[in-house]
Chains A and B, each alone.
Chain A
Amino acid sequence: QKEVEQDPGPLSVPEGAIVSLNCTYSNSAFQYFMWYRQYSRKGPELLMYTYSSGNKEDGRFTAQVDKSSKYISLFIRDSQPSDSATYLCAMSRRGSTLGRLYFGRGTQLTVWP
């Protein structure tokens, strides 16, 4: 079993929909959580970076962390066709390997007009 699980989808929604993307993890040492967006054949782009449990909002994006359930989410409001991409969750631990990221396999999202 991988340390970070993410449903690869694909997920297809109409423009304007609220999108919910999720990851679960097994290692309680993970303390830092990130969401990246990756367009086809491009490098991942950092969207959200969170440390504590709870919600963090940035524009149309909200990241949610529930450490007790080992579950993280990304919500996209008023989704746009330009949001069509693969969304990767990533996390890292405290300790000597500071900053090494463990990724989910990504969820492919299509927003159709």
Chain B
Amino acid sequence: DTGVSQNPRHKITKRGQNVTFRCDPISEHNRLYWYRQTLGQGPEFLTYFQNEAQLEKSRLLSDRFSAERPKGSFSTLEIQRTEQGDSAMYLCASGRLRESSYEQYFGPGTRLTVT
């Protein structure tokens, strides 16, 4: 399987705990994006990487959120001191250049529930 993989698929945590998610993109794609999706809404952009460089962060990404992509391969998204409002599906997408923009392929997501 050469698609995007995400782990864990589900995470239940108590408010105040830290959580970390992992994304493994399609190997030949150099862009990696993180989005968050809540029930009944479309995904919202959080941040993206070009290789190992983090090029943009949304204002949705508070200082409790941090993302890394060491060596331009897999990426991690960490949420510190989780709040109930962080409950959502966290989606990772792998991007390849097409016609001066990026075609994005999504992973299955990590569903976070904060109790």
| B106 in contact with A49 (CB, 8 Å) | no
B107 nearest CB neighbor, chain A only: A43
The distance in angstroms between the C-alpha atoms of A101 and B43, with both chains bound, is 9
Hey, which chain A residues are within 8 Å of B44, CB to CB?
Answer: 103
| A92 in contact with B41 (CB, 8 Å) | no
The distance in angstroms between the C-alpha atoms of A23 and B99, with both chains bound, is 22
The distance in angstroms between the C-alpha atoms of A105 and B37, with both chains bound, is 10
| A104 in contact with B108 (CB, 8 Å) | no
A6 nearest CB neighbor, chain B only: B42
Q: Judge if B21 is at the interface, Cβ distance under 8 Å.
A: no
| A49 in contact with B45 (CB, 8 Å) | no
- Place the interface of chain B in its size category: 20 to 34
| B108 in contact with A105 (CB, 8 Å) | no
| A99 in contact with B33 (CB, 8 Å) | yes
Report the interface size for chain A: residues with CB under 8 A from the other chain: 29
Question: B95 to nearest A CB, angstroms?
Answer: 5
| A44 in contact with B91 (CB, 8 Å) | yes
Question: B89 to nearest A CB, angstroms?
Answer: 8
The distance in angstroms between the C-alpha atoms of A5 and B6, with both chains bound, is 29
Question: Which residue numbers of A lie inside 8 Å of B, CB to CB?
Answer: 4, 6, 8, 31-32, 34, 36, 41-46, 49, 51, 88, 90, 92, 94, 97-106
Instruction: List 5 A-B pairs, minimum CB-CB distance, nearest first.
Output: A103-B42, A99-B102, A43-B106, A32-B101, A43-B108
Question: Which residue numbers of B lie inside 8 Å of A, CB to CB?
Answer: 4, 6, 31, 33, 35, 40-45, 48, 56, 91, 93, 95, 98-109, 111
Can you name 23 A-B pairs with beta carbons within 8 Å? A4-B42, A8-B40, A32-B99, A34-B104, A41-B111, A43-B109, A44-B43, A45-B106, A49-B98, A51-B101, A88-B43, A97-B56, A98-B100, A98-B101, A99-B33, A99-B102, A99-B104, A100-B33, A100-B48, A101-B33, A101-B104, A102-B45, A104-B42
Known A94-B101, A99-B104; 15 more pairs at CB < 8 Å: A6-B42, A31-B101, A34-B103, A41-B111, A44-B106, A45-B106, A49-B103, A51-B99, A92-B101, A92-B102, A98-B102, A99-B48, A99-B95, A101-B45, A104-B42
